[in-house]
Chains A and B, each alone.
Chain A
């Protein structure tokens, strides 16, 4: 039974439609895998077993009549940022204590309408603020990947009894897994860990500065942040409204395309949802990339970048070239200003969005001597350190006398960052290839990161530009580093040209192969 969890969505879809397996069977297989692994990995914060079984039963009835939707009977995990009716929705924050919305987000509504089965809610950084999933109120998520150590073992000379043989000794190399626990990245750490560890067939995630692509890169999974406006933000707990986008994390490029097609829609309830029909992303997979112009931005070669990542980038360039793409050197001169501009814009929007958590309408309330005291005590107890830090920065940069110096300046720089991309696309570049992250997954409670918030922020250095410009970006696994950890490459496309990303990412996937963690959990 357990190998049912190893099927990709496209494989499971074929077997479900062909009645080789039932939705009930695959759902039970996932629920059993979660029960075994979750105490160790902490990817799920709530498992909705009864609901999953009910949904699977309904799917089997539809499949029997040949009426199944695009995702009929496919078990998914849902990031805790998405409102799910009657089910725990807290953005992994204490301030939303006990919140069970009376409504369903548009993205999850779309998934259920297509027949998907909900397994539960996935862990994440509190309010999606973090790059390691360590800011969650529910504790960190563990990456199913571990470093491996290559030891040279000296073979002893052995004598085996009378008439036995004598082995001559010598050395051999032996690969063994290191015990150190690693982060899965963040903020969609639960989504990435669950997909990589076979605890769901695919997962919803969100990306404000890299929160889909960085965890995907850290776990050997595929993650796409679509163009701003492609997926409805209605019912997704808001962090930074001009940057937030939902997208999937999946085991391969095809599965990511299948999931995005179901998640995306035109939604009258979100005024920033764009009126464009959702294309059949899967149809782009397998199309040749001959003659495609791939831009390589020189500004993404940063100081101190590990040699493994530079080598991976070169490999990616070679694969695309071999497939017939034309490689061109490009310049995106304002790249280095994207991260500092982000750390003004995102906290400013967050400080405003998170003003609603005041102990009046939902969630936690800590009593105070008057209403202001109640607000202050509630928010002090309800928000974690990172969230408070960002609300404080946002409040400061928006406060009287500082607005022009910080916020307005950052929004002007943002215009320049977007212009850099526009210029490159206008010159005929179809897609841009970069590394996804400046490093592989790091350890839980990394001291360097804990002591300096800016060090943690640098994780998003390659991904944040894409959010600032509202473009689509995909992270695809492309290799392992010297310690056996997965690394990803990122492809950045023109607005609403997710098809080119799937098409090109698939070429990389075909060349690189797939990467699975060795099971220890």
Chain B
């Protein structure tokens, strides 16, 4: 399988990365080189093979159902580019 310029632009939008025409053209070639490289996986007979979900057989640890952390609103917003009274500020999303 390979990608064309349109697909690259669509994927870039899905990934929320703005691309120029020039970027998209360069990326098309690069992505096709990588997709060409991974193509060889199709040779592998995977009939009856379970996809891996975890490298070490382990049971998900469950945390105690209790409040162990919190009251850190100021810490959480401390690194944000725009805030107001412990809220993150973003461009208007609702008219």
Contact = CB atoms under 8 A, between A and B. Distances in A.
Interface of A: 98-103, 227-229, 242, 268, 271-272, 274-275, 334, 336-337, 340-341, 343-344, 351, 355, 358-365, 367-377, 379-380, 383, 388-389, 391-393, 395-396, 399, 402, 405-406, 408-416, 418, 452-454, 457, 468-470, 495
Given A337-B44, A372-B16, A409-B42, A392 B52 contact: no
B17 A406 contact: no
A392 B58 contact: no
Nearest to B8: A392
A109 B40 CA distance: 43
B79 A101 contact: yes
Given A340-B40, A341-B41, A396 B80 contact: no
B19 A334 contact: no
Contacts of A355: 16
A52 to B, nearest CB: 24
A426 to B, nearest CB: 15
A399 B11 contact: yes
Given A362-B80, A412-B50, A470-B55, A388 B17 contact: yes
Given A271-B61, A396-B3, A470-B56, A368 B91 contact: yes
5 contacts: A99-B79, A359-B81, A392-B27, A396-B35, A413-B44
Contact of B34 (A101, A351, A453): A453
A376 B93 CA distance: 15
A99 B79 CA distance: 6
A415 B50 CA distance: 7
A103 B79 CA distance: 12
Interface string B53-84: 11110101101000000001001111111100
B58 A272 contact: yes
Contact of B17 (A336, A380, A468): A380
A462 to B, nearest CB: 17
Contact of B90 (A371, A389, A405): A371
A96 to B, nearest CB: 9
Contacts of A412: 44, 46, 49-52
A361 B82 CA distance: 8
Contacts of B35: 393, 396
Contacts of A413: 41, 44, 46
A227 B34 contact: no
A340 B43 CA distance: 12
Given A380-B17, A406-B38, A470-B55, A416 B79 contact: no
A267 to B, nearest CB: 10
Nearest to B80: A361
Contacts of A452: 33
Contacts of A362: 79-81
B58 A274 contact: yes
Given A392-B27, A410-B41, A98 B79 contact: yes
Contacts of A360: 80-81, 88, 90
Contacts of B42: 409
B40 to A, nearest CB: 6
B24 to A, nearest CB: 10
Contacts of B19: 380
B18 A376 contact: yes
A274 B56 contact: yes
Nearest to A408: B51
Contact of A395 (B11, B44, B51, B58): B11
Contacts of A337: 40-41, 44
Contacts of A379: 15-18
A3 to B, nearest CB: 41
Contacts of B14: 395, 399
Q: Closest 10 CB pairs between A and B?
A: A470-B55, A411-B51, A365-B81, A362-B79, A376-B18, A380-B18, A102-B75, A412-B46, A340-B38, A395-B15
Given A268-B61, A416-B46, A454 B90 contact: no
